[in-house]
Structure 1
Amino acid sequence: MNKEVIITTIQAADDSALASMIRSVFDEYGAPTEGTVYVDPTTDHLSKVFDVNGSVLFVAKDGDKVIGSCGLYPTEGLPEGHVELVKFYISGEARGTGIGRLFMEKCYEQAEKFGYTHIYLESLPAFGKAISIYEKQGFEQLSAPLGNSGHTGCDIWMLKKIV
């Protein structure tokens, strides 16, 4: 991996590579795909999905190669002041380099700028290491989902108050 990793906001040119990277993480972990972003057709056009107020998708690149993503999205049905942490995936070769921590810091900062007070997320047991990282970041598990992400395959729901 190059030392010149750059984090930017998503551009249309990133769509295909990002969708491929996200699906490769699911494949790597043997995570269930039904009811997740893996089969969600919007995963192939994330630059369009994140072209709405109150949303952002950060993309990490090593040169021209997409190696990670993390963003915020005002998911329908979330309580006032809540935003969903979404599309948080890091390629195998980029894990353990601090990119995840940078993504989280950028998302906390951006959530506050947008005026959100809480960050919500959904995940899967297959991503157990990520769950423990979220808990260390102050996220608490919920007994039921918030909002309507459409990702019915996710059965871990977490929330963090940021303000």
Structure 2
Amino acid sequence: MPEAAPHATPIVSIRPIEARDDARMAQIIRTVMPEFGACGDGFAINDPEVDYMTRAYAAPRCAYWVVERNGVVEGGGGVAPLEGAEADVCELRKMYFLSSMRGLGAGAMVMERALAAAREFGFKRCYLETLTGMDAAMRLYERTGFRRIDAPMGATGHGGCNTFYLLEL
């Protein structure tokens, strides 16, 4: 039997988050955010839901997916109603990938699933917040049709973010 090629394409899959993924996603979020200076108050790194993602995304009109490569979770992203906003606005949330996963199209795949779910949940607009320096993410958002807006919406509690986007679904 021939051996696998040393540079075989890794198998990437996306699936809904499960309780067994909570600790790994918390670790990923707490690894990625400091890469971009997103530490301290006002950033998602301190959200209580980071340690209990399955609980947070089990609520109505919420969904979260993890991305695995060769069976190891390396990132994820989700969608949920935007706190403090109209009922037809959701938020693209907690979309973080380890550096080993970036550039492979995983972000686009997760975003496609999240936006499809948002439409199924009846949302009409999708909001997101990010941080200057997350340039690749911002390019993805803009390619997907998100447009920059001047001020934050809702009550995310992420006062450290300084770039805001909105997409008409």
TM-score strictly above 0.5: yes
Give TM-score, length-normalised by structure 1.
0.92
For the pair shown, the structure with the greater C-alpha radius of gyration is 2
Q: Write the distance in 2 (CA, Å) between the matches of 1:43 and 1:138.
A: 27
4+ residue stretches of structure 1 with deviation over 6 A? none
Identity of aligned residues (%): 33
Partner residue, 2:5 = none
Pairwise CA distance, 1:49: 0.7
Aligned to 1:118: 125
- Bigger drift between 126-135 and 47-56 goes to 126-135
CA contact (8 A) 1:118 1:159 kept: yes
Q: 1:57-96 residue pairs with structure 2 within 5 A?
A: 57-96=64-103
CA contact 1:26–1:33 (8 Å) conserved in 2:
no
Q: 1:81 to 1:34 in 2, by over 3 A?
A: same
- Give the number of equivalent residue pairs: 162
Please provide the CA RMSD for this pair: 1.6
Shift of 1:34: 2.2
Structure that is richer in helix per residue: 1
What secondary structure sits across from 1:43 in the alignment? Answer: helix
Contact preservation (8 Å) 1:2, 1:62: no
Change (3 A) 1:149 1:110: same
Partner of 1:41: 48
Partner amino acid, structure 2, of 1:57: Y
Contact 1:2 1:63 in 2 (8 A): no
1:2-41 equivalent positions in 2, closer than 5 A: 3-41=10-48
5+ residue gaps in structure 2?
1-7
Preserved CA contact (<8 Å) 1:144 1:157 = yes
1:134 maps to a residue whose letter is Y
Post-superposition Cα deviations, 1:20-49, rounded to whole Å, max 9, x if no partner, equal: 011111122333442111122221111111
Per-residue deviation at 1:2?
6.3
Corresponding residue to 2:146 among 139, 143, 154? 139
Shift of 1:61: 1.3
